[in-house]
Amino acid sequence: MAKNQYYQQLTATFQRLSRFSHLSAIAGWDMSTMMPAGGSQARGEALAELSVLEHQILTDSALGEQLSRAAEEDLSDTERANLREMQRQHSQAILLPAALVEAKSLAGSRCEHAWRSQRPANDWQGFASNLRDVVALSRQEAGIRAAALGSTRYDALLDIYEPAMTSARLDGLFGDVEQWLPGLLQQALEKQQQRPLIAPCGPFPVSEQRELGLHTMQKLGFDFDHGRLDVSAHPFCGGVPEDVRITTRYDENDLFSALLGVIHETGHARYEQNLPARWRGQPVALARSTAIHESQSLFFEMQLGRSAPFLLQLLPEITRRFGQQPAFEAGNYLAWNQRVKPGYIRIDADEVSYPAHIMLRYQIERALIDGDIEVDDIPALWDEKMQRWLGFSTAGNYRDGCMQDIHWTDGSFGYFPSYTLGAMYAAQLFHCALQAHPGTAQAIENGDLAPLFHWLRENIWQHGSRFTTEELIQRACGEDLNPLYFRKHLESRYL
């Protein structure tokens, strides 16, 4: 008998699953960037077929037997972590019938494709008709998962993205933020009023914006042999570690929206490109969780990307491409990119008002999945919460309100909390990186980002899913998630 034969059989199966996921990821990227509108139905059906095939492999009775037998074999720590992640995927998959997996994939593809034209048209009724199907199927899935986990329906979906996280813990974390965020936001706005800012004057040609983005990606260490930059209606990072696809969207009147979107997605991409290569194709080589993934994008965009040293390093390239103008005077340029300006759109939000966007969505989606509200209740609730937290009414303005995001179109309920959890992790990790090597701050000032990226590679990237989220952060920082670092970061930068 071969050594660890059951474990070896499992690694072969999960390698196969990884290849199917690769195909799904690239087909999904193409659907959002290159595919002609007429290909939507056929592509949706093809992706659904792949989802069903992956589901069939994961739920095969032989796989369950192999998992049980492999647990008794002589495995290394990393192999045992890989087995744990295999078991998690299997146990989640066997809960769902293949028909539900297929129906949810088809409904998600249909809703997402229609959203691309419905959002610009402000067509809430059209969007809602598709979203109802997605919500109904998501509730069905949540009910099945909740029964198995002994949890609420929403917590069962939250666990998919953030293992071991619960809405009770989120309520504590977010409740704390709700206590101090409004006051900090008001203080930051009052401080800003003391210095009128000059807005950058466009137009800023898309071709030059793209080149600036590519220059910035290079500065941030993006590996262009294993990835590329494209355009989509909603910026995202997709693909696989060997072939990472990131996207942004351009506005000729706004230079920095696309640029900061590129920096954000490059954070995701660097994490993907640096996951443990020798375990590639195995669950242990995947990203730890969505909050850890978001911590990397926000580490790049907010902690590093909006810091004065990094912004000043980009300024010569900006003036070279777009010319000198009063808005690009160093002090104004820094203040413009660190300004607090509450608005309707989440992905364009400053980091002080951003948590309000997430808490709004979290509260609505939890009520929606738990059955406390229906799809038709969303616009009024959205308007009420936007007015209370940020002072904006979205009554009748669906495109800038409840239709602005892509996440609900495919049933990704439970994902949104990852953004603010990610911001908390990012602030904590940045603090720990600077504390671990005191020379890192000076290196950043000098334009040398290598020490910072080395710390991330050693403490986060190379571990993939070897450790639980709690263990990963404990090993990197010596303590579990501590939201105090996020508050101190915001107070330091904006007050």
- Amino acid, res. 3: K
**How many Cβ atoms from other residues are within 10 Å of residue 157's Cβ?**
24
Provide CB contacts within 8 A for 70, sequence distance 6+: 4, 6, 7, 10, 83
Would you say 270 and 300 are in contact if contact means Cβ atoms under 8 Å apart?
yes
Structural tokens at position 407: 């996440």
Q: In angstroms, what CA-CA distances link 196 with 255, 264, 469?
A: 19, 27, 43
Provide, for the chain, the percentages of residues in helix, strand and coil under a 3-state DSSP scheme, each rounded to the nearest 5: 70, 5, 30
Distance CA 467, CA 357 (A): 30
CA 359, CA 131: separation in Å to the nearest integer? 21
Catalytic residues: 265
SS3 call for 244: strand
| DSSP tag of 282 | S
| Residue 168 Cα distances to 39, 366, 369, 475, angstroms | 43, 12, 16, 25
Nearest CA to 154 among 409, 162, 406, 346? 162
**Pairing label, strands 237-240, 243-248:** antiparallel
Query: Exposure pattern of 344-374 as b/e (b: 16+ CB <10 Å)?
Result: bebbbbbbbbbbbbbbbbbbbbbbbbbeebe
- Neighbour tally for 445: CB within 10 Å: 14
90 contacts 59 by C-beta, under 8 angstroms: yes
Whole-angstrom Cα distance, residue 180 to residue 308?
Answer: 25
Distance linking the first and last C-alpha atoms of the chain: 66
Strand pairing class (227-231; 237-240): unpaired
Bridge pairing between strands 227-231 and 243-248? parallel
Instruction: In whole angstroms, give the CA distance from residue 111 to residue 220.
Output: 35
Query: DSSP per residue over 311-328, as a string?
Result: HHHHHHHHHHHH---GGG
One-letter identity of residue 106: L
Q: What is the Cα–Cα distance from 277 to 11, expressed in whole angstroms?
A: 15
